[in-house]
Every structure is written in structure tokens, then in C-alpha cells.
Amino acid sequence: MRRDGYRPQTGRHALASCWLRYYSGLTLLRRVPTAVHFSPSICQGRHFQIISPYLAPVNITSATYLISSPGYQSCPEPDRPEYAFIGRSNVGKSSLINMLCNNQKLAKTSGSPGKTQMINHFAVESASANKSPTQWYIVDLPGYGFAKVSQQQRTRWEKMTEAYLRKRKNLVNVFVLIDSRHAPQKGDLDFINRLGEWEVPFCIVFTKSDKTTQAEAGKNVRAFLDTMRKTWEFLPPHFITSAVKKLGKEKILHAIEQWNAEYTAGG
Ligand SMILES: Nc1nc2c(ncn2[C@@H]2O[C@H](COP(=O)(O)OP(=O)(O)OP(=O)(O)O)[C@@H](O)[C@H]2O)c(=O)[nH]1
Ligand SMILES: [Mg+2]
């Protein structure tokens, strides 16, 4: 089977859109950004055009918990752009969301893995420069690769997450979180390749950078991207963050701000 030159249609793929070629025989995934316009200072990526020489601060004016859903069918009305956060259990998804929203109590965090178990929606409003406020959703998803739950439970989460990622119409981008302290993990790379097969746009966020040296984190980031390069023609944007030191917040919020503007412009 070969799918070639996947053309984004409407909704989410028309926004953070990518051309995607999938050659299943060779397991070669190619993702070529077209409509994604990033400043390199926003995304640290290499393949994106500069459209914003000046980045005005983005302020989160409100962020509130909305609902926890057991499936995409019961998620809130898809009437605004949506951004989901996913990664291994305990990688720091909920903490990152709290950092972005300036509210340590917004998403529940825990030292023990497996805390987040449903599709959790948060309603966010942001404002930047003289623009009118923008409404969007943040979604906190359960982590993958958590060994201490039954196989049945794990399968249920995986099915719930896959259906959500593939069918949620207003999902603009998925932030895949990777622990910056570790060398590339097969589970993370497999998950990313699955996103490619499902044609889901994503970015990579390397978390917990305060927990290791800059040199070690840099080495792990390079190793991860180099591994991805073997199967991907172009790399997605990536961010390096620390929820403790509030590192990476502005860059992520700017990327979201730009997608929100494209979403509004694209209807
Ligand atoms: N030092 C440091 N600790 C962090 C950071 N981000 C998260 N943590 C800690 O890591 C643990 C897990 O964080 P969570 O945000 O709950 O992780 P999660 O990915 O949402 O976990 P699950 O929902 O269980 O999958 C908590 O003890 C956090 O305080 C970070 O940037 N730096
Ligand atoms: Mg969590």
C-alpha cells in the first residue's frame, strides 16, 4: 500500500497541515510541512518559514477545567482549536499544562504514574498585543507505557486515545512529551510513527530539562531527532521545557497563538 501526497482537506489538517507520504512496505514516513509557518526562534526547527520577526507576549487570561470524557464522542463541542498533550506516564504532561496556564492546580499532577486516565478538557482564553482574546481547548491525555495497570485497562486507554486523536475534528496539534533525561526510547518512537500513519500533526516537547545538565539534555535531544531522521524526511518543531523553571513556555504559547490565528483565518 502506498499513500502519496496526502492533501489536507478541512478542519485540523488544513491548519497545522503536512503532506504525508506513507510507504508501508519500507516503513518510511515522510512529513513535509507546507502551511506551517514557524519562526525558528519559536520552534527551534529547521524547516519552517519565518513570518513573525517580532513576538508579542501571549497572556493566558483564563483557564478552567471543563470535563473528563471516557471517549471522543462525549468531548465538548468542537467549536474552537484544540491542543492535546500526550507522552509516557509521568513525563510531565499535567505539569506542563499547568505551567502554560500559570495555574499549578489546574491539571492534577502526581509523583506516581497513571494519574490521568480520561480525556480532560480545559477551556483557555489568551490575549496578545492588540488582538481580541482567543478561545481554545487544552487536552490532558492519559500516559502510555504505564506497566502497573492491567492489560485490559491499558488496551482501553489505547483505544480511547487512538479514536480521539484520529477523529477529533478541531484537534490542531498534538504535543508529544519526551523526557529529556533519557536516550531515545522505542515506545516513544513507535508512538510518533503511529501518529504519522494516522496523519495527526504533532510537535515534540522535551521535558524536565532542569533535572539534568544542559549538555546531557542536549545530547538526548540530538539523539532523539537523529533517530527520527532515519524514518522522517522532515522533522516537526521541538521545544525544550522545564515546568519547574518555567522554561519553554513563551515559545509554546507563541506556536499555539499562530495556529489559532490560522484556524480563525481558515474558518
Ligand atoms: N523537576 C521537574 N519535575 C517535573 C517536571 N515536570 C513534571 N515533574 C514532576 O514529575 C511528576 C509527574 O508529573 P505529571 O505532570 O503528573 O506527569 P504526567 O505525565 O501528567 O503523568 P500521568 O498523568 O500519570 O501520565 C510530578 O512529580 C511532577 O512534579 C519538570 O519540568 N521538572
Ligand atoms: Mg497527568
Q: DSSP string spanning 226-240?
A: HHHHTTBSSPPPEEE
- Model pTM score: 0.83
158: CA distance to ligand 1 center in Å? 20
Which residue, judged by its Cα, is nearest atom 27 of ligand 1?
Answer: 111
144: CA distance to ligand 2 center in Å? 11
Cα-atom radius of gyration of the chain, to the nearest Å? Answer: 17
Q: Is 110 in the pocket of ligand 1 (CB under 6 A)?
A: yes
Question: Into how many domains does the chain fold?
Answer: 1
Provide φ and ψ at 204, rounded to 5°: -115, 135
**Ligand 1 atom nearest 109 alpha carbon:** 16
Give the C-alpha distances (Å, rounded to integers) separating 116 from 146, 179, 198: 11, 17, 23
Cα(159)–Cα(178) distance, integer angstroms:
21
Q: Which ligand is nearest to the CA of 112?
A: 1
Q: Ligand 1 pocket: which of 86, 105, 106, 110 to mutate (most atoms <8 Å of CB)? A: 110
Cα(140)–Cα(132) distance, integer angstroms:
26
Read off the CATH number of the domain in which 109 is found. Answer: 3.40.50.300
Q: Which ligand is nearest to the CA of 110?
A: 1
Q: Spell out the residues 6+ positions from residue 100 whose beta carbon is closer than 8 angstroms to its own.
A: 60, 138, 249, 252, 253
Q: Is 208 in the pocket of ligand 1 (CB under 6 A)?
A: yes
- Furthest C-alpha separation in the chain: 51
The region, left, alpha or beta by phi > 0 then psi within -120 to 50, assigned to residue 166 is alpha
Angle between helix axes 214-229 and 186-198 (nearest 10 degrees) is 50
240: CA distance to ligand 1 center in Å? 15
Q: Spell out the residues 6+ positions from residue 231 whose beta carbon is closer than 8 angstroms to its own.
A: 27, 28, 29, 193
For 119, the domain range is 2-266
Q: Is 237 in the pocket of ligand 1 (CB under 6 A)?
A: no
Which residue, judged by its Cα, is nearest atom 23 of ligand 1?
Answer: 116
Q: Any bridge partners for residue 136, and if so which?
A: 124
Please identify every residue whose CB atom is under 5 Å from ligand 2, which is an ion: 93-94, 115-116
Residue 207 sits at the vertex; the CA angle it makes with 153 and 141, to the nearest 5 degrees, is 30
For β-strands 134-140 and 119-128, DSSP reports them as antiparallel
Q: What is the pLDDT along the chain (267 residues), one digit of tens a residue?
A: 333 333 333 344 444 343 333 333 333 344 433 333 333 333 333 333 334 445 678 899 999 999 999 999 999 999 999 999 999 989 999 999 999 999 999 998 877 766 678 999 999 999 987 778 999 999 999 888 776 778 888 888 899 999 999 999 999 999 999 999 999 999 999 999 999 999 899 999 999 999 999 999 999 999 999 999 998 888 999 999 999 999 999 999 999 999 999 888 775
> Would you state the pLDDT for residue 57?
83
> Does residue 199 contact residue 6 with C-beta atoms inside 8 Å?
yes
Q: Spell out the residues 6+ positions from residue 26 whose beta carbon is closer than 8 angstroms to its own.
A: none
Q: Which ligand is nearest to the CA of 146?
A: 1
